[in-house]
Amino acid sequence: MRVKSLKVFTGVLMFGLLLGASSTAYADAFSLTSFSFTNIQFTPSAGTAQFTVTAVTARADAGFNGGTQISNLSNSFPIAQASAVVNGVTAAATANAATRSVSGESTAFLAGCTCQAGSFAFATLTGTLLLSGAEGPVDVNVTALETLLWQVQTDAFGRYAESGTFFDLLLNGAVVFSFQVEALHPLLGPNQFGMVEGASQISRSIRLQGNSENSISVRLSATSLAINEVPEPASVVMLISGLGFLAGALKKRRDRSL
């Protein structure tokens, strides 16, 4: 009976060695953040409102393991676009004066390594809002479409995944819309998953002076972070070996009871 138990343990140990040798192929951590703010409109209760975009910027950063990093910036008008890619980590940002829109997308995907990575997308749009054809205070309705998609996921060895967003629209330096989340449901630990997807039309009424020129500033960012911590093969072997010892001991105890 002792020989049979030894065979069982030896088989389990060999399986543990094989699993330990290939364990790095199964360590994944993933984060995706996509956020856009489009079709910005200003509708006054009297007179007319003319929104003119004067400048756009887009920036994209991607970094891997605290070393390799790429950063690109664009001020091209009327469309600024920037992207960065390094070791499966990506970032892309766009600011479009023609469509009055800003968008950013970032991803961080790690597989089979003890490592960390992050990406950052940032877009801005600035301009002027001219109210004409009306005297005194004028109510202006501000509307836009915001779209959000975020997903974070870790497998059995993924340590951390995080998604974050930031957006605001300023009129004469005062906040009209603001949305900021430093970490959208960060995942701490293995085998976790989270996802949110949706679009909504937002609006707000503000009061401005007729026959006036006002400054508009729009800013948006999307960030992703992922951290992997692959266990040493020896740790996996010890875990499997322990199960082998336990299986052998239980079998020996059961045989004695017969």
DSSP 33-62: EEEEEEEEEEEESSSEEEEEEEEEEEEEEE
Q: 133 and 118, same structural domain?
A: yes
Averages of pLDDT over each 10 residues, the chain, 258 residues: 43 38 56 93 94 97 87 97 94 96 95 89 97 93 93 84 91 90 72 89 93 95 87 44 44 49
Domain that holds residue 47: 28-229
- Can you give the pLDDT at residue 87? 87
Q: 142 and 241, same structural domain?
A: no
Q: 22 and 56, same structural domain?
A: no
Tokens of 91: 């970032």
Tokens of 15: 């399986």
- Can you give the pLDDT at residue 179? 82
Tokens of 215: 């400054």
Q: 66 and 87, same structural domain?
A: yes
- Can you give the pLDDT at residue 103? 97
Q: 117 and 239, same structural domain?
A: no
Domains contained in the chain, number: 2
CA–CA separation, 121 vs 20, rounded Å?
Answer: 37
- Can you give the pLDDT at residue 189? 76
Asked, for residue 258, whether it belongs to a domain, the answer is: no
**Cis, peptide link before residue 78, omega less than 30° from 0:** yes
Q: 162 and 238, same structural domain?
A: no
The tokens 């809002």 sit on which residue? 129
Q: 242 and 118, same structural domain?
A: no
Q: 198 and 95, same structural domain?
A: yes
